[in-house]
Chains A and B, each alone.
Chain A
Amino acid sequence: QLQLQESGPGLLKPSETLSLTCTVSGGSVSSTGYYWGWIRQPAGKGLEWIGSVNYSGYTYCNPSLKSRVTISVDTSKNYFSLKLSSVTAADTAVYYCVRRGTNGEPKTYDPWGQGILVTVSS
Chain B
Amino acid sequence: QSALTQPASVSGSPGQSITISCTGTTSDVGGYNYVSWYRQHPGKAPKLMIYDVTYRPSGVSSRFSGSKSGNTASLTISGLQADDEADYYCSSYTSSGTWVFGGGTKLTVL
Contact = CB atoms under 8 A, between A and B. Distances in A.
Contacts of A109: 36, 38, 46, 48, 91, 99
Nearest to A96: B45
Interface in A28-69: 39, 46-49, 60-64
Contacts of B1: 62-64
B6 to A, nearest CB: 9
A86 interface: no
Interface string B14-40: 000000000000000000001010100
Interface in B50-87: 51-52, 55, 57
A112 B45 contact: yes
Interface residues of B, number: 25
A108 B36 contact: yes
Contact of A108 (B52, B98, B100, B101): B52
Nearest to B47: A112
Contact of B51 (A47, A48, A106, A115): A106
Contacts of B103: 46
B3 A46 contact: yes
Interface string B86-99: 00010101001111
A49 B51 contact: no
Contacts of B99: 49, 109
A106 to B, nearest CB: 5
A41 to B, nearest CB: 9
A110 B45 contact: no
5 contacts: A39-B101, A64-B1, A106-B51, A107-B52, A109-B38
Interface of A: 39, 46-49, 60-64, 96, 106-115
Interface of B: 1, 3, 34, 36, 38, 45-48, 51-52, 55, 57, 89, 91, 93, 96-104
